[in-house]
Structure 1
């Protein structure tokens, strides 16, 4: 039997290392977890690499130690642990207890002293001891039986120190490490040392005289007058420093190595706590499953996998599947699987290249065509839009989608970046699998449907999100016609504008330079023209837009640079960018509409992003001229909700003054201006209306007095008066805003009119700025999210009505509160009536929904 291997970890040291090494992580409840996550990963790596028989974690005990008694200023300069780190220590201790790992704390002693005591016990009892820390002090404990595993940058990079390694690194023995620290001092522990002595000098002295006592006794003999004087003057301070730096090796620990033995249990308590922390990867590393999960997994894995290798086999199985009422289909990059029950699955491996065995992608889809097009054969899918689009390439029209796991996952947790099938199977169905297939989707869909019921989002799924899959797929397939010649002409105009602006900038600067170079622009602005420096970083003067906005009043050149940047961005993003994505087959752009990206529920657009075309500038608006109706017989109908978010706020708050203004069809910004400035409506100035508009929309977004002041270019005091005056006139709005924040803090999430949830962990943050952001999100999300729900409902209704009436006109774009229909001219009046009715009746609020409609050959003209 070999020597017992004991590992003791400095918990405080590793937690600090982990906290600063990893980005801030929180679970859904807003509890910070990054340090615990980093520590646990490091712990598991250490167990895997060193396989200790006995394991413990040492922590500092709160309160003064014996070192404070001999030196009151000990650690006095150390900053308090960050607010997000402090609560993580209790989480870690709870986790360690559930993992069966010993925790050591001793009143009046530090974690270092516990490591020291284990080092001594190791030498006395014949253990092999590994001490894990990021603190160099521990090197004094190294001996033939004791090694130090030192974390370097972060926590993943370590270096193991034994006696030889210390000699190689410092030319010292382990015992001399204390003398090194006593001479140098330590700012982090506030150990004074001898002023003026750094590591280089301290090492030189110790190489010559070996101990601090010998160094001090030979002070008169050292070279350098200043050094000599310091050694004489601070002799007592140096000896005090040595006492402070010496790690105690006899802390009152009642240690029996048997008590340090550990075996990480596969307990329900540990599993539930790790799930609460959302440490899925650690659950997987530990291989933990509860008995219920093991039972589910075992039964779910008892399935018959049928490999389909030829078209004849595929046609045979498809013929049999045509008689069932429901199938699950999972399309993956390397294979397509289909299943009609959880215990059997058919797999078609796809050819990736000439060397890969399998079926051709088109052959598989054509083989599945009868199933895909059968309306009453219901389909459970993952990412139904992808399935529709891929099938469309081969002229197949997918019918009968029943449940999309991808969309359900988004509704249940909208803040995620990815919705991996394997991960979802584990979380919702308790399935621990390496690869998912269609049979797994059967089980997953059932669990997720129940979860949607439980969270009261089944209506949202069935009536809003699920029908939208077909709407968005159809919009992508149809695309938006672009006038390529006009786009090129616009590009030439923008190029000319850039050329003229460049000449003006050179004239105003008195020299030619690279306007796109922040360094060269910084030189012109701040050194040549001597404009005030607003912000400076490591790389030089900042010339970002915020800086330029502040410099506007100082010189005409700044205005021209801002214009130049705006035109340059428009040209590169929307002229050159659009030219590269026009489909040569139909002259259209086919944007991708994403249903699972935003936390508020809004649809996003990409490649190209048609929702982001800047319309505040005339040059930006002109880009809309290139988006045109699909033919001479068509025009564009643009239908836009009027002030939908303010109407939702009026409805949600129940404020009678606000509601009355909308019911009477008043100009809400004029009404608000009249209310907050105390003037009759007919006496409101354009500037007052503009300011009231900023307040109205600012309130929706939880704007602060600072934000409003910045937006309007007024003092913070004035902005505060505007906000206070607003809330005085609309008190129910204020009550609603306060109520929604309190509700969010209690339940951890907010909901929209259609029960869409958004979890707000930011509200639990100890960081004021993050918490304030959470409060703003709590105020805004129910309003913005409800607007998203309403426009989606309107899209579904418009799409369904166009299809029901068998019209040629097609819905082709949604931008926030606006729908665009490519309209066949003979259907124009019918489409206008249809779209207004669908949009205005999407939901019933306490105020009317109003839709403005425009018609034109181009998007610009229709708007």
Structure 2
């Protein structure tokens, strides 16, 4: 049989673009080539593996189709096409033409209509042809026949799917492929704005089609149904019919089927070579074209594939611009030669130690029973010190025996001459500390190294392995199942399988290090940040996490009861104001009450699904108009406080220690700030009185201690003053003045003593808003003034603080020149949209260009302070412990006998952590709980 492959170009272009969203390919000229690169790989994979006899690429055009004419809302809600895709489309067309593949385009018809028509005509004209429609779009299922199949491309590790009638019917749970359209007519399609029938999802649609066979038969028999479903089917019958009309792929497009035109032929080297050069796909060009070999696209007419093309899809795709994820097959444990050894028993462990202690660096990884390090027990440890070989030591469940087996390994972990390499080494460090082992000497974390290279990308080992090694590691879910209550335990995994999994982790992590070092070597500041800031901080955070925080459980129980009573009172008042009872937590019911019954906003906005929008921003605007809006906000706050914090915090207490142990994450925020989870301390409420009460639950370990809080004062404003060197701001800070009052005096043109509270409030909002690139519209919204007045305040601010404006302009200029901005310590934030023609994308990047150096420098500063404070507490062998860090604040369990000593020292360290040339101040407080201290 002959093969005809028809490609849905736009679907594949979009897929490629978003697949690279976190790892975009940017050329030296600033061109995002991700979509073209992904599309090229998709086409080439088909040519390489399937060796098609005929090829065609179908494109949509901007011209309206019959669907737009019949239903103006068709695709109307779609977001504007990303600028990078708009730029990529002409390049994709050039690529297709250079490969001598026909472009199938006709105004008034979509690519799926063209593909449907060509597919049907092809199988009718030639009984020897099988058509493969290459697309990720599920709608093509309606076209499938025995010789017309869907070919869903491989994507991020998931293999190619070829779907015939049987597979399509199984996927949709229907009897025949014609019913795909009936399913779509009932369910609708949010992507294309096909409305469907309200309230009918996939499962309901399957039941209805199984019983009635088609939409038409269903609508003719609605008398059999009951309730809301019957009502909706009768009320929206015409909408359902229109949906079926829109979902049907037209197979009568007036386009000729010319089989010989679709015949696969060699690419046009004279067109392809310069195009690949322009796109900077140099390694790809070399692999495709070889020395002089043409790109082969047919098995019947062209010469055999050149030998240097054979491994195109099995090898790493790495251009001069750096590694990227492949769309094609990855290497894995089964396809890669390796030697992973099982090391059992004390004698074998001691023999391994003899080899490990001879190394200058060793990579290791722990397997444990829990993600919470402080309660985790060791299941095993793997070691690697050369590529392709690793060793796995299993540990017994009996903890006394485990400690005996682990004891000799102190010789490795506590050897200061051996560098220890790991992925997320903080966790391993904390687990080993449970057994009295301290990791000494230089440490290296591949996760943190990549975080400094590409802060906004994913840093887990699987992602790094795919990107740098084109290798797909064994999934943890293959061993213990998916996350959730039914997930298994590592102790239950068969020994040989866990050996392969664990040893592979150490082996792959070891292989990643030289790739990461190669990139870091090009950025000395980034390398310094890794070794002198992030890695030392890892030790500090491990100590803080292990220390934990004491909780006042009786207080939380009392607060929970109070909140429950408050919720009921507010709920009753809402019912009273609404004139009826309803589900306040239901956006649908709430919207109907606010905008249909009470008619609070005749221009109320709706979501894509037709529900009214009832978010905080909308309710806040209606606050003054009707009491119900403020009561709903109160209701939501009370419920969130109770469920998210007051009732949840006691559930996080570790049975082993009796405290909560949050996990600090170094590699999440692009600015360098720390985040935390279980609990997320960064989000503990502070703006409202009720929210602040939660901090009362965080208490000292016993009566010999107090909570000490040290919080940087207006640190981001001080950093902005230091960066801009604005004389007025520097003077205000260095003289210890109220900077917001000083700002108000200048902006409003009054004497310092004449500044009233309203002026100060507005100036404070402007001061902080400037850092985040606030607009006149945004400022007006925040402080409740007209846009004109807000514009005048911002303009006057820049007149009075001209160097601040110069700093902002310079930051944006630097971002445009370099593609990134830096903190005071050289932490980079990449801003790839800084030259975008899209105003919204460019504006967002410009605001980040201003804010990232300020917020990132504040992050650098508190990290330096944490390291120095921790070293001080350890060196002096003090009982006082650092237990939390939130934003610009450090929190301590301070022993009462040490308070006067540590208080002054902590203040001194924090104020002098970085020399910014401006006076730095902290606010230090003491109390019997965190709220009192703060």
TM-score range, shorter chain: 0.7 to 0.9
Separation in 2, partners of 1:399, 1:822: 26
Using the TM superposition, give the Cα deviation of residue 327 of structure 1 relative to its aligned residue in structure 2, in angstroms.
2.6
Which residue of structure 2 aligns with residue 516 of structure 1? 585
**1:540-689 correspondence to structure 2 within 5 Å:** 540-689=611-760
1:330 is matched with which residue: 350, 365, 380?
Answer: 365
2:102 is aligned with 1:104: yes
Q: Contact (CA 8 Å) 1:56, 1:104: kept in 2 or not?
A: yes
TM-superposed deviation, 1:361: 6.6
Counterpart for residue 405 of structure 1: 446
Give the TM-score taking structure 1 as reference length: 0.76
In the other structure, the counterpart of 1:314 is 349
1:469 aligned partner? 538
Structure 1 residue 774, shift from structure 2 partner: 1.7
- Among 366, 389, 392, which residue is 1:347 paired with? 392
Q: Is the 8 A contact 1:388 1:473 kept in 2?
A: yes
Shift, 1:452, TM fit: 2.2
Q: Which residue of 2 aligns with 1:424?
A: 464
| 1:130 aligned partner | 131
Could you tell me how far apart the structure 1 residues matched to 2:105 and 2:925 are? 76
How far did 1:812 drift?
A: 0.8
Task: Tell me how far apart the structure 2 counterparts of residues 447 and 150 of structure 1 sit (CA, whole Å).
Answer: 38
1:261 is matched with which residue? Answer: 298
Which of 5, 9, 15 pairs up with 2:6?
9
Counterpart contact for 2:419–2:441, Cα < 8 Å:
yes
The answer to whether the aligner puts 1:854 opposite 2:925 as a matched pair is yes
SS at match of 1:498: helix
Q: Aligned-pair distance for 1:575?
A: 0.8
Is the partner of 1:553 in helix, strand or coil?
coil
1:248 and 2:256 matched: yes
CA contact (8 A) 1:501 1:564 kept: yes
1:440 and 1:522 map into 2 onto residues whose CA distance is 52
Question: Structure 2: how far apart are the matches of 1:527 and 1:62?
Answer: 41
- 2:925, 2:161 → 1: CA distance? 63
Matches of 1:93 and 1:266 in 2, distance apart? 26
TM-score by length of 2: 0.70
What is the CA-CA distance between 1:593 and the residue it aligns to?
0.8
Distance 1:587 1:256 in 2: 70
Deviates more, 1:538-547 or 1:19-28: 19-28
- Which residue matches 2:561? 492
How far does residue 716 in structure 1 lie from its aligned partner after superposition? 1.9
What is residue 739 of structure 1 aligned with on the other side? 810
The answer (yes or no) to whether the contact 1:760–1:774 under 8 Å persists in 2 is yes
CA shift in 2, pair 1:595/1:350, >3 Å: same
**After superposition, where does 1:329-408 map in structure 2 within 5 Å?**
329-332=364-367, 336-341=381-386, 345-349=390-394, 365-408=406-449
Contact 2:450 2:459 in 1 (8 A): no
Aligned partner (choices 763, 767, 780) of residue 692 of structure 1: 763
Q: Secondary structure at the match of 1:855?
A: strand
Distance 2:613 2:81 in 1: 32
Using the TM superposition, give the Cα deviation of residue 37 of structure 1 relative to its aligned residue in structure 2, in angstroms. Answer: 7.3
CA-to-partner distance for each residue in 1:697-720, whole Å, 9 max, x for gaps? 111111222221211122222222
How large is the RMSD of aligned CA atoms in angstroms?
4.8
3-state SS in 2 of match to 1:542: coil
Conserved? CA contact 1:13–1:133, under 8 Å: no
Long gaps (5+) in structure 2: 66-73, 170-175, 179-191, 194-215, 217-249, 268-296, 300-304, 369-378, 475-500
Structure scoring higher RCO (CA < 8 A, sep ≥ 6) equals 1
**1:154–1:660 distance in 2 versus 1, CA, 3 Å:** same
2:323–2:467 contact (8 Å) kept in structure 1: no
Structure whose alpha-carbon radius of gyration is higher: 1
Deviation at 1:663, TM superposition (A): 2.0
Count of residues in Structure 1 that have an aligned counterpart in Structure 2: 756
Cα 1:265–1:656 change in 2 (3 A) is farther
Q: Which residue of 2 aligns with 1:88?
A: 88
**CA distance, structure 1, for counterparts of residue 567 and residue 912 of structure 2:** 47
Shift of 1:485: 1.6
User: Compared with structure 1, are the counterparts of its residues 529 and 339 closer, same or farther at alpha carbon in structure 2 (3 Å cutoff)?
Assistant: closer
Once residues 337 and 59 of structure 2 are traced to their aligned partners in structure 1, the CA distance between those partners, rounded to angstroms, is 51
How far apart, in 2, do the equivalents of 1:702 and 1:317 lie? 57
1:648 to partner: Cα distance: 1.1
Alignment-derived partner of residue 224 in structure 1: none
User: C-alpha separation between the residues in 2 aligned to 1:320 and 1:270?
Assistant: 32
Tell me the alpha carbon deviations over residues 139-191 of structure 1, each in whole angstroms, 9 at most, x when there is no partner.
9xx9x9x9655689999887669xxx9xx989xxxxxxxxxxxxxxxx99xxx
Q: Is the 8 A contact 1:659 1:846 kept in 2?
A: no
2:741 and 2:451 map into 1 onto residues whose CA distance is 40
Greater Cα offset, 653-662 or 442-451: 442-451
Which residue of structure 2 lines up, in the alignment, with residue 535 of structure 1? 605
Counterpart residue number, 1:445: 513
* 8 A Cα contact 1:384 1:401, kept in partner: no
Once residues 880 and 652 of structure 2 are traced to their aligned partners in structure 1, the CA distance between those partners, rounded to angstroms, is 24
Q: Relative to structure 2, which stretch is displaced further, 254-263 or 767-776? A: 254-263
**Contact 1:630 1:822 (C-alpha < 8 Å) held by counterparts:** yes
What per-residue deviation string (whole Å, max 9, x for no partner) do you get for residues 384-417 of structure 1?
1111121123333333342222211211121123
Q: Which residue of 1 aligns with 2:327?
A: 282
1:758 equivalenced with 2:829 (yes/no): yes
CA offsets 1:798-831 (integer angstroms, 9 cap, x no match): 0001111111111111111111121111111110
Confirm or deny: 8 A CA contact 1:7 1:52 kept in the other structure.
no
Structure 1 residues 851 and 53, CA gap change in structure 2 (3 angstroms): same
Q: Does the aligned pair in 2 maintain the 1:348–1:364 contact within 8 Å?
A: no
In 2, Cα distance between the equivalents of 1:94 and 1:274? 21
Q: Give the direction of change, closer, same or farther, for the CA distance of 1:600–1:81 in structure 2 (3 Å limit).
A: closer
Provide the rounded CA distance (Å) in 2 between the counterparts of 1:854 and 1:313.
55
- Name the CA shift for 1:303/1:569 in 2 (closer, same or farther; >3 Å): closer
Retained in 2: the 8 A contact 1:33–1:277?
Answer: no
Shift of residue 498, structure 1, vs aligned partner: 2.4
List per-residue Cα deviations over 1:79-105 (Å, max 9, x = no partner).
9976443222355467769xx954335
Structure 2: how far apart are the matches of 1:135 and 1:590? 44
**C-alpha contact (below 8 Å) 2:708/2:927 kept by paired residues:** yes
1:455 aligns with 2:490: no
Q: Which stretch shifts more, 86-95 or 17-26?
A: 17-26
For the structure 1 residues 400 and 429, does the alpha-carbon distance in structure 2 shift closer, same or farther, using more than 3 Å as the test?
farther
1:643 deviates by 0.8
CA shift at 1:372, angstroms?
2.4
Query: 1-side partners of 2:389 and 2:177: how far apart?
Result: 62
Instruction: Please tell me whether the aligned partners of residues 734 and 919 of structure 2 are also in contact (alpha carbons under 8 angstroms).
Output: yes
Query: How far, CA to CA, are the matches of 2:322 and 2:356 in structure 1?
Result: 43
